[in-house]
Structure 1
Amino acid sequence: MPSPPSRPVHYDFGPGAMASGPADRRAPLPPLALADLEAPGLVEGSTAVVYRLAYADARQLRPYSQARWSQPPAQLVQQRLRDRLGQRRAVLTADSGAAQARAAGKLPTVLRVELEEFSQVFTSATESAGLVRLRATLAEPAATGETLLGQRVFIVQRPAASADAAGGTRALVEATDQLAQELVQWLEQLGR
């Protein structure tokens, strides 16, 4: 009797930050409106875990046949950024931020993020890394439009512990966490 087909394994970013250390006692930062994350380099709505064979053809994205994200990567990354940014400030959606700010009389600074790369990159058949690249743009809303406060491209690679989807997804989560920390530091350097 033939065995039933195997079902895809679903991955997410885990439970998120756990309350493991002392609370951050620094003064809270001003609210920030986080616009919906755009992912021009990814297939919209796809939950496939993808990889590249840099040693064969780095231009080709390949999906693992039996591995999926629980949500599209853009949604997972946006939630992780919201969690990390929200540790010291109120993080609003662009729509709710505008509505709340109209009542208060001041619009919050807007952070726009584009996820340009989110894949496992193999440099050989046994060596790979999770690669996350995003572009962050910070703007101050004004009556006549927006004033650009800063823009930066963040690129983070984390080595995968194994040359498979499990190793790749773990490396991508670690890279996203590191990138979120770098984004927070960049915003603080800009005084935002």
Structure 2
Amino acid sequence: MTVQLRHLFALATCALLLGGCASNPPATARYDFGPLPAPSTSSQIGTLIVADITGPTALDTEHMQYRLLYADARQARPYAYNQWAATPFQLLGQRLRANFAQAGVKVLSTTDAITSPTVLRMEVNEFTQSFDTAKSSQGILNVRASLFRNHRLLDQRTFQRSVAAPTPDAAGGAQALAEASDALAADLLAWLASVPQP
């Protein structure tokens, strides 16, 4: 093999190796809400059935979504290599139940034996990281909550929480939405406590 052919072979080998590296995308990072914060309130609500959370089909996915308010606020975009560990509905439901239980509420799901006539149903309207600028974003959570007792609607309210993300990326968005979910839990507990008990 001539020197020129050796050089061509070496160049081709390097190109193949570099191409192989470029074709391997970064590993996908998966986020949840992390550990619960220390309990800040206690509740005398008693037993509560918390139904599975519902919402738009676009949010019933593990994709982490963000909006560029400064470019096109109507377009939700998915992060390429970052995902939730479960759907936002599942993560939020788990977090709220954990917060309620930590506050002293006896939390049941609709699949448990029905020993409570009080049911909390929630529908998510917004669950996203929204960027005001390329370096500034908030985790925004908007939920409509309906409280039923013995199949009768007692009250319905819409709650919204917005928490600044510490960093302008998926990790910052995950932290902001986790904090917004904990703040929502406190709002819900205060609301539930204001509804007359049977």
TM-score between the two structures when normalised by the length of structure 1: 0.84
2:149 is the counterpart of 1:123: no
SS at the partner of 1:133?
Answer: strand
2:188 to 145, 161, 183: 183
Tell me by how many angstroms 1:135 deviates: 0.6
Contact 2:130–2:139 (CA under 8 A) maintained in structure 1: yes
Q: TM-score, normalised to structure 2's length? A: 0.82
Asked whether 1:55 is paired with 2:70, we answer yes
Give the Å deviation of 1:166: 1.0
> Which of 132, 135, 141 lines up with 1:132 in the alignment?
141
State the number of aligned residues.
176
Q: In the TM superposition, what whole-angstrom CA distance separates every residue of 1:105-156 from its partner, at most 9, and x where no partner exists? A: xx42000011111100011111110000101000111xxxx21111010100
2:100 corresponds to: 85
Q: In the alignment, does 2:155 pair up with 1:150?
A: yes
3-state DSSP class of the match of 2:93?
helix
Kept after mapping to 2: 8 A contact 1:42/1:116: no
Report sequence identity in percent: 39
Structure 2: tracts of 5 or more residues without a match: 1-16
Partner SS state of residue 58, structure 2: coil
Q: Give the Cα–Cα distance (whole angstroms) in 2 for the partners of residues 42 and 110 of structure 1.
A: 26
RMSD of aligned residue pairs (Cα, Å): 1.9
1:12 aligns with 2:12: no
Q: What amino acid sits opposite 1:90 in the alignment?
A: K
Aligned twin of 1:104: none
- Say yes or no: does 1:66 pair with 2:81: yes
Report if the CA contact (8 A) 1:41-1:117 is conserved.
no
Report the secondary structure of 1:66's partner residue: strand
**Higher percent of residues as helix:** 2
Larger of the two Rg values belongs to structure: 2
Q: Which portions of structure 1, spanning 4 or more consecutive aligned residues, are displaced by more than 3 angstroms? A: none
Could you tell me how far apart the structure 1 residues matched to 2:57 and 2:142 are?
Answer: 10
